[in-house]
């Protein structure tokens, strides 16, 4: 009898989607990933700036480098279908011999968690204003039968930091799928800390998997701790499968009962019993029903000390991963060229049609 594949088996053997837990470099002008680079670009006729995502095409069926045309087309088809204030917008698609290039809305405000970690204090009321935007984006996707399947802090960005009320943008639809509710869909992909138990256990997947990820994101946002993170991938995935987490006072001492209830209703093993995005938006922590609930949310605070430490640890891990990615693929922009603070100018070797693509230089 054949043993079904485990998440860890496939992750280690490299048989998963190439975007699984990608190492990345986010700078003001460059994003570095395993099989993708994102650069700033400019439409020559107007001077308007966008982001250009270069996705390296897989050259042959036997190759494991690059992304298959099927996967690229799925991402493009989904991006073409969606238009929402809290989701990154696709403007144009074209390709050259090596890459498919997506011209996307420029989301220049950085990651939400980095922005919040710079604050001195943050009430739950303020935190829920950002979380509601995330839920609004997810509600729109789910209304179209689209599951993101890769919701995590790195994929929750701000359009601009300078706005009085910064707008959330959900990005990176490389793992997103349009669900066919007549057929079981199983796959093993995503980032171990944020995947739902049904992913780990190779069970049918649906929109509910995104709501588990929202629960993990909320847990981290309030406490600065990752609920299922183990010493290695195997331990992390075992914790996810067992729904082994706690709301310790060291991390949740100042957290309201409503916030804890919100998390508990999302981190449920049975997808059918997990809170939907519609129910999440109606939850009294997001939409208080009376003055007492509103006051509880206003007086309860995010654990900023722990959140700052979480953000610092994650930045360190990403910087270490970037060195590995840059060394493994010499066609990618190197970390040295991607350093922030360098003078920017159009790269003469990266001018396609009416677009200029930007890199840093000394």
Read off the pLDDT of residues 161-183 as tens digits, 9 standing for 90 and up.
Answer: 988 899 999 999 999 999 987 77
Q: Return the pLDDT at 95.
A: 87
CB 39 within 8 A of CB 29: yes
Read off the pLDDT of residues 258-286 as tens digits, 9 standing for 90 and up.
Answer: 999 999 999 999 999 999 999 999 999 99
Q: Return the pLDDT at 359.
A: 58
Q: Is residue 317 part of a domain?
A: no
Q: Return the pLDDT at 228.
A: 97
As a whole number of angstroms, the distance between CA 327 and CA 315 comes to 19
At 39, which CATH number? 3.30.200.20
My answer on whether 225 and 306 are in the same domain is: yes
C-alpha dist (Å) from residue 70 to 17, 37, 38, 67, 93: 11, 19, 20, 8, 15
Q: Is residue 22 part of a domain?
A: no
Torsion sign (Cα): 239, 240, 241, 244: positive
At 133, which CATH number? 1.10.510.10
My answer on whether 219 and 263 are in the same domain is: yes
Q: Return the pLDDT at 343.
A: 34
Residues with catalytic roles: 150
Long-range CB pairs of 90-95 (<8 Å, 24+ gap) are 91/50, 94/352, 94/353, 95/57
Q: Return the pLDDT at 299.
A: 94
Cβ count near 294 (within 10 Å): 15
Q: Is residue 320 part of a domain?
A: no
As a whole number of angstroms, the distance between CA 144 and CA 361 comes to 43
- pTM for the whole structure: 0.82
Q: Is residue 181 part of a domain?
A: yes
Average pLDDT for consecutive 10-residue bins of the chain (362 residues)?
41 32 37 75 90 91 85 97 98 91 95 93 96 99 98 96 93 95 83 96 96 98 96 96 96 96 99 98 97 94 91 66 40 29 43 67 40
DSSP state of 224: S
Q: Return the pLDDT at 361.
A: 42
My answer on whether 226 and 281 are in the same domain is: yes
111 Cβ neighbours under 8 A, 6+ residues apart: 26, 153, 154, 156, 157, 158
CB 149 within 8 A of CB 190: yes
As a whole number of angstroms, the distance between CA 40 and CA 96 comes to 18
Q: Which domain holds residue 150?
A: 112-310
Q: Is residue 1 part of a domain?
A: no
My answer on whether 148 and 192 are in the same domain is: yes
In sequence order, what E strands does the chain have? 25-26, 30-32, 36-43, 49-56, 90-95, 99-104, 146-147, 156-158, 168-170, 177-178, 343-352, 355-361
């Amino acid at each position: 009898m054949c043993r079904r594949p485990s998440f860890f088996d496939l992750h280690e053997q490299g048989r998963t989607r190439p975007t699984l837990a990608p190492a990345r470099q986010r700078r003001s002008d460059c994003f570095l990933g395993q099989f993708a680079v994102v650069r700033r670009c400019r439409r020559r006729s107007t001077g308007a700036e966008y982001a250009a995502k270069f996705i390296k095409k897989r050259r042959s069926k036997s190759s494991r480098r690059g992304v298959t045309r099927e996967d690229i087309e799925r991402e493009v088809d989904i991006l073409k279908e969606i238009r929402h204030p809290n989701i990154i917008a696709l403007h144009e698609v074209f390709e050259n011999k090596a890459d498919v290039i997506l011209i996307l809305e420029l989301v220049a405000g950085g990651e939400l968690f980095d922005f919040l970690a710079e604050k001195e204090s943050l009430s739950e009321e303020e935190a829920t204003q950002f979380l509601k935007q995330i839920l609004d984006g997810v509600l729109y996707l789910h209304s179209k039968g689209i599951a993101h399947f890769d919701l995590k802090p790195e994929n929750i960005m701000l359009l601009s930091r300078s706005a009085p009320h910064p707008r959330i943008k959900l990005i990176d639809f490389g793992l997103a799928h349009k669900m066919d509710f007549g057929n079981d869909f199983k796959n093993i992909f995503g980032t171990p800390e944020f995947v739902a138990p049904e992913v780990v256990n190779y069970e049918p997947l649906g929109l509910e998997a995104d709501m588990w990820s929202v629960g993990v994101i909320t847990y981290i946002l309030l406490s600065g701790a990752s609920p299922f993170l183990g010493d290695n991938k195997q331990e992390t995935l075992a914790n996810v499968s067992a729904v082994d987490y706690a709301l310790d006072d060291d991390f949740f001492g100042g957290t309201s009962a409503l916030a804890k209830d919100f998390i508990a209703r999302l981190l449920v093993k049975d997808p059918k019993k997990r809170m939907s995005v519609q129910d999440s938006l109606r939850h009294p922590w997001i939409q208080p029903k009376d003055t007492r609930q509103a006051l509880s949310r206003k007086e309860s605070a995010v654990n900023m000390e722990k959140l700052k430490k979480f953000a610092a640890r994650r930045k360190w891990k990403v910087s270490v991963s970037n060195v590995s990615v840059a060394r493994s693929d010499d066609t990618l922009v190197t970390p040295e060229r991607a350093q922030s603070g360098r003078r920017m100018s159009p790269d003469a070797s990266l001018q396609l049609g009416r677009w200029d693509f930007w890199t840093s230089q000394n």
